[in-house]
C-alpha cells in the first residue's frame, strides 16, 4: 500500500520545483541558436546531476524537508530528461551527432552524480563508499 504523502514534503517539493524550472528557464532563454540549445541542456543536466549528488551525499536522510526542496524540487526542476530526449530525437537526421549527445548526457549525468555523492559525503563527514542497493531504504 502506498505511503501517504506528507503535505509539508509536497509543499517544499513544489516550491523547489518552481525555483529549479525558473533557473533552467533563465539559463536557456537567451540561447537563440537551435544547435546550441542541446549542448546547453547537456551542461544544465550535468551540473544538476553533480549538485543532486552533493545534496544526497550531504543531507542523506537527516533533513528530509531540505532534501525534498533542494533535491527533488530545485534540482529535479532544474534538470530535464524530456528536453534531452527531444534534443536527441531532433538530431535523428545526424545519427552520429545524436548518439554523441546521448552518450555525453549519460556520462555527464552519471559522472556528475558520482562526483557529487563523493563531495556531499565528504562535506557531511561520512565515509565515501556508496551503500549497496540491497541496504538502501
Q: Which residues are annotated as a binding site for Na(+)?
A: 76, 79
Binding-site residue ranges: 76, 79
Short-list 29, 113, 42, 110, CA closest to 71: 113
The answer to whether the CB of 44 falls within 8 A of the CB of 55 is no
Give every CB contact of residue 112 below 8 A, 6+ residues apart in sequence. Answer: 46, 47, 48, 49, 50, 53
Residue that the C-alpha cell 563523493 belongs to: 118
Amino acid at each position: 500500500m502506498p505511503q501517504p504523502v506528507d503535505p509539508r514534503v509536497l509543499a517544499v517539493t513544489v516550491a523547489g520545483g518552481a525555483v529549479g524550472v525558473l533557473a533552467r528557464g533563465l539559463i536557456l532563454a537567451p540561447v537563440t541558436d537551435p544547435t546550441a540549445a542541446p549542448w546547453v541542456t547537456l551542461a544544465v543536466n550535468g551540473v544538476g546531476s553533480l549538485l543532486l549528488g552533493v545534496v544526497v551525499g550531504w543531507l542523506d536522510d537527516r533533513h528530509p524537508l531540505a532534501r525534498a526542496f533542494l533535491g527533488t524540487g530545485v534540482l529535479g526542476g532544474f534538470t530535464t530528461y524530456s528536453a534531452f530526449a527531444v534534443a536527441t530525437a531532433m538530431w535523428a537526421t545526424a545519427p552520429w551527432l545524436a548518439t554523441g549527445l546521448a552518450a555525453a548526457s549519460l556520462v555527464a549525468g552519471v559522472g556528475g552524480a558520482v562526483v557529487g555523492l563523493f563531495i556531499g559525503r565528504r562535506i557531511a563527514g561520512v565515509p565515501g563508499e556508496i551503500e549497496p542497493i540491497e541496504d538502501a531504504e
